[in-house]
Structure 1
Amino acid sequence: MSFYFASILYVMMKKALLLLILLPIFTYAQDVMPPLLPWKGKSEALMVAKGHPWITPGEASDLKESPTYEETYLWIKKIADSSPYIQLKSLGKSEQGRDIWILIASKNQFFDGERLKKEEKPLIFFHGGIHAGEIDGKDAGMMLLRDIIHGEKGHLLDQANILFIPILNVDGHERRSPYGRVNQRGPVEMGWRTNAKNLNLNRDFTKIETAGVKAVIEVINEYEPDLYVDVHVTDGADYQYDITYGFVKTGGYSPAISQFLANTFQKEVDAALSSKGHIPGPLLFAANGDDFSSGNVAFSFSPRFSHTYGDARHLPSILIENHSLKPFRQRVLGTYVFMEQAILTMAKHFDAVKKAVALDQNQAKESLDVKFKFRENPADTMQFKGIASRKEKSTLTGSEYVVWEGKAITQEVPTLLMDVPVQTVPIPKAYWISSEWSEVIEKLQLHGIEMEILSEPKDIRLEYSKVMDFKMGSQPYEGLMRVQEFSSEKIYRTQTFLPGSIRVKTDQALGELAVILLEEESVDSFFQWGYFNSVFSQTEYIESYIMEPLIIQMLAKDPKLKTEFETKKSEDPDFAKNARRIYRWFYEKTPYFDQNWKVIPVGREW
């Protein structure tokens, strides 16, 4: 018996024992799910017979199970070893020391970024398991690669090159059990949403605190793919759609790309899914949190999310959200159809894609929208393929809850669109950051943002933002203490920048991303994420026995200051009675006061 099959047998025996112990409880959890509509689609023919030499571990269970990390590695290594067209490469280690594997497929056997970027065909990048319990992309990608390398779909590799990460959140993937996601119909064992440090990878694309997202951004920088697809599974309500997906349509930074995705890509992918028996739909979020009677919410995601980050980089990006209440088998097959058609569509319209990307990269912008709100009225309505539901009163809590009845219905549902700008910032010529803020500088470098690194000291007068009032979040979010609310005013001063400090010009391909990260008003700025929180600490003080005679001298020398002081006391009686506040008021007007306190250390060059 080969090492591969011996290893698979060992893993399967361990898994069978675990399931035998847990099956009674697990079956009960699945039994309380809403009724399931019957499904049969042409995509079922994509599965190979049980005796097929290249059957995937998932197919071997009739797509009821998904393989472990070790089973997955053994299979992808086997297929990489079997063909000169595939290379298996580690993108680095996870927080727990597991390799994050990527498969690179190229008919011309080009496996480095420089040569792949020069090929006149699209480069498709997709991954599964950014939320490790939502693993459909892994099994679909394994099946698709099998059919390209050892089946009848080799022509796909004539039309495109492929980058495929089967499991992104590898540590969360191995925190697997039948209790991973109670609202999801399979696979039998599911991984965990977050990584080993309990960080959500799909909230990490601006701050880059996880090994998985760091790997994704390194792939984007090195290979410059033409399409990026992140495969998820939904939470939430019931409906008929099985494969829902979305991209930034409005309120984004790549309007030409958005137009291509909406007018060309979506139409062809939807047609392919429909022809194979699937029901494609847009991203769906019930406005009232229960059903769709109040409408579907089309959020303006911030760039901490994968597909919005791609939009900010002018990279065509798709977020797939397969419906959690549909069986794993149906979801995987739909993902396969999606990815196959994505390759065909990108190849067919590659010139149009390149033109759209170039248009978005070369936009002339004087300002940038960094925060959005909902439109006052619905943008439009859609013929919604829903599931009938009713409200029942809980005998446990006394409140109402939704009950899904498993009957297909059609509803007229309004679309609530969040694309009205409420915060716009002017774009400076460049940003300056001093060398001591090395963590921020390193993150900008990881994003691939161009910068000039100073090799000798330089004095320059710049605009800064000084925080006047602020409020921190009440608890950590993704491991960081975010700035929740604040107000600021602009100040100007000359600063000496030492070697290692950086200048970031905004006239570059990733200029919009630089603005998003460095302007404090942006919801995903380094400031709001808390990377500059130390500026809120005041570390030098003055004693009252110094302050008292100093104030007398100040008032004697400056009649205007005396008038201002008297006015302040008359307008604010509490101030007039508070010696501490009076001393503080004068202290802030002296050159002894900390000039860096509450000043965000990002200088703007105009």
Structure 2
Amino acid sequence: MYVTKRVWKNYPYQLTFTVMIFPLTKIYLTALYSIVLLLLSLTSFAQLTPFEKSSNKNYTATYAEVMAYYQVLAKQYPQQMRLFNYGSTDVGKPLTLVVLSKGGVFDPAVIKKQNKRVLLINNGIHPGEPEGIDASMMLARDLLKNKKLPDDVVLCFIALYNIDGSLNRGVSRISQNGPVAYGFRGNYRNLDLNRDFIKADSRNALAFTQIFNTWQPEVLLDNHASNGADYQYVMTLIETQKDKQNPILADYTSKTLSPELYKRMAAGGYEMTPYVESMKETPDSGIVAFLETPRFSTGYGAQHNVISYMTETHMLKSYEKKVYATYTFMQSLITICQRDANKIGALKREADSAVVKQQSFALNWALDVDKFEMITFKGFEAGHKPSDISGLPRLYYDRSKPFAKQIKYYNTYKATTIVNKPVAYVIPQAWGKVIDLFKLNKVVMKQLPHDTNLTVQTYYIADYKTRPKPYEGHYLHYDVSLKTINNNRVKFYKGDYLVYTNQPVNRYIVETLEPQGVDSFFAWGFFDSMLGQKEHFSDYVFEDIAAQYLKTHPDLQKKLDSAKVAQPKIAQSAAAQLEFIYQNSPFFEQTYLRYPIGRLLAR
């Protein structure tokens, strides 16, 4: 007889026990069998997520729990799962990407050569909407444990995108039904990261951009929870708006992929409807398709010809239902992506090729209120009653009165601003953030080998409006109007960048560089320094210079006289007349209000 001490470890439990070796009698075999069952039971329990371990499934994992869980899972399945850290978030922690690959290939370039698809799933961009975090932990485990990884689709999960907000744990979403505690919407810089994809102010967004353009997904999913009206559905869905999406991809998503997702979700017990943005106060008035511009993850994905979806579970449903609905959606999307893997790849290549040759690009869109389709909507009767606080009428939904009725779904947008692309854009190297973002987004650029004068089309900002309050750290410009100067001879310098518009990322290039675009770099204030005048004149000195200049330029004198007749304010103001002469003379600075990006119209 002898004694052996053994230690069994499996997160988050450690078991130390002593085995005494005796002749194999029935009693000892029974004891050994019980120990084995105990170990198996503890192992199984250790693989559960914190959400599953909670008594009422109303708990979401903390950042530390998420990382620890995936680290253990990666050790258990080293051939099919790996963790990659990218960059740094604003809170100083790297962004972790969980990659599941049935073939054990984790090199994005090799994956592309093998003609496999990449599905990128983003979780926790709003940590108060954490369903995707917990659902992805379960799904990754189940796919590995049950040997259900798809053959032709590599799965990439961003474990928790807004780490900053997740660490700021509390109960700030007061209108939400669970979980008991969760993260805050804003990140460490108080940015809403789902408004940051195009401008990339946060280090989180820079890390995401690196992930996105390294793995080059064909399909993107961003998991969320909604606010707004009350209705019967656990989940609603935002898909890339069909009139804004590349038509090659829109045909597939609107006719095949999206209908199949709706069908599978209904079969799984989670019937969906399009995201509920009411035309008026309640959904009875009709709902409007969400227009996700490039500031949003799905709008950014559309610029890169990536099929993009955003789930929106309903805030008032139990947290358990929201997590399992998200799990079911991801499972459905993976199944369809595997089934249509070859088709999705072919469509992506076709769309990229079409964008290379595309000449005209939409920059802004408006809802077409004359076009709609009728859909069945399952909601609750809404009404108004006196508020217990103010005594004034307040909106409420009566859950004792569910209904299913036909409502209008407005899902057609028309382009309101369209621009023809130039042969190339010329970007002065001074605009470093633009250059850095283009590099991250795999835009091909060539630097000028020496100083040179180029004949380009240039814009002058004729007029624009600016929001009176900051939005996500910027005073957004809109309603931009331009004065276009053709055949303008402009000096550029060695090291400035030429960006030819013969690339699959043409949409990203054009929509960011054309100042009228809703999410252009100009709209976000990247070029605000060129809106300020740097030089002026002293009145008493310029009086004599201006008088002499008018004598030698009678055409300007006539122009001034006409202006005084047309605008009495000029006629009544000596300063205004001097300003008029100054602005119409060669003394006036040529760079004031000149948009710094040149448009090369011919090679």
TM over 0.5: yes
2: CA distance, partners of 1:63 / 1:458: 66
Q: What is the match of residue 103 of structure 1?
A: 98
Structure 2: stretches of 5+ with no match in the other structure:
1-7, 15-40
8 Å CA contact retained: 1:249, 1:262: no
Q: What is the match of residue 571 of structure 2?
A: 576
Give the letter for the 2:108 counterpart. G
Q: What is the match of residue 367 of structure 2?
A: 374
Q: What is the match of residue 419 of structure 2?
A: 425
| Aligned residue runs from structure 1 range 269-280, under 5 A | 269-280=261-272
Decide which of 596, 599, 602 is 1:604's aligned counterpart: 599
* Shift of residue 343, structure 1, vs aligned partner: 1.2
With 313-322 and 299-308 compared, the bigger mean Cα shift is at: 299-308
* Shift of residue 530, structure 1, vs aligned partner: 0.4
Pair 1:323-2:317 in alignment: no
% identity of equivalent residues: 28
Pair 1:238-2:230 in alignment: yes
2: CA distance, partners of 1:370 / 1:324: 33
Q: What is the match of residue 404 of structure 2?
A: 410
Aligned residues: 562
Q: What is the match of residue 467 of structure 1?
A: 461
Aligned to 1:130, the other structure's residue is in SS state coil
Decide which of 466, 480, 483 is 1:489's aligned counterpart: 483
Decide which of 427, 433, 449 is 1:439's aligned counterpart: 433
Q: What is the match of residue 31 of structure 2?
A: none
Pair 1:71-2:62 in alignment: no
2: CA distance, partners of 1:174 / 1:2: 28
1:488-536 Cα offsets, whole Å, 9 max, x none, are 2012422222122111111100011100000011011111110111111
8 Å CA contact retained: 1:244, 1:281: yes
Q: What is the match of residue 378 of structure 2?
A: 385
Following superposition, which runs of at least 4 residues in structure 1 exceed 6 angstroms of deviation?
none
Give the letter for the 2:367 counterpart. F
Q: What is the match of residue 42 of structure 1?
A: none
Flag the 1:366–1:72 CA change in 2: closer, same or farther, 3 A.
Answer: same
8 Å CA contact retained: 2:209, 2:441: yes
Decide which of 251, 254, 259 is 2:246's aligned counterpart: 254
Q: What is the match of residue 189 of structure 1?
A: 181
8 Å CA contact retained: 2:10, 2:43: no
| Aligned residue runs from structure 1 range 117-128, under 5 A | 117-128=112-123
Pair 1:449-2:443 in alignment: yes
8 Å CA contact retained: 1:141, 1:164: yes
Pair 1:349-2:340 in alignment: yes
2: CA distance, partners of 1:366 / 1:115: 32
Aligned to 1:93, the other structure's residue is in SS state coil
Q: What is the match of residue 18 of structure 2?
A: none
CA RMSD of aligned residues (A): 1.9
Flag the 1:99–1:573 CA change in 2: closer, same or farther, 3 A.
Answer: same
2: CA distance, partners of 1:146 / 1:500: 49
TM-score, length-normalised on structure 2? Answer: 0.90
Aligned to 2:494, the other structure's residue is in SS state coil
Q: What is the match of residue 44 of structure 1?
A: none
Pair 1:340-2:335 in alignment: no
2: CA distance, partners of 1:525 / 1:103: 32
Decide which of 296, 304, 319 is 1:305's aligned counterpart: 296
Give the letter for the 2:212 counterpart. I
Flag the 1:574–1:120 CA change in 2: closer, same or farther, 3 A.
Answer: closer
8 Å CA contact retained: 1:435, 1:497: no
2: CA distance, partners of 1:348 / 1:484: 43
2: CA distance, partners of 1:253 / 1:405: 37
Greater gyration radius: 2
* Shift of residue 211, structure 1, vs aligned partner: 2.2
* Shift of residue 398, structure 1, vs aligned partner: 4.7
Give the letter for the 2:312 counterpart. E
Aligned to 2:597, the other structure's residue is in SS state strand
Aligned to 1:575, the other structure's residue is in SS state helix
2: CA distance, partners of 1:49 / 1:245: 38
* Shift of residue 485, structure 1, vs aligned partner: 3.8
8 Å CA contact retained: 2:133, 2:159: yes
TM-score, length-normalised on structure 1? Answer: 0.89
* Shift of residue 418, structure 1, vs aligned partner: 5.0
2: CA distance, partners of 1:3 / 1:539: 67
1:448-484 Cα offsets, whole Å, 9 max, x none, are 2221122322220111111123332212111112223
* Shift of residue 395, structure 1, vs aligned partner: 4.6
2: CA distance, partners of 1:60 / 1:175: 23
Pair 1:361-2:361 in alignment: no
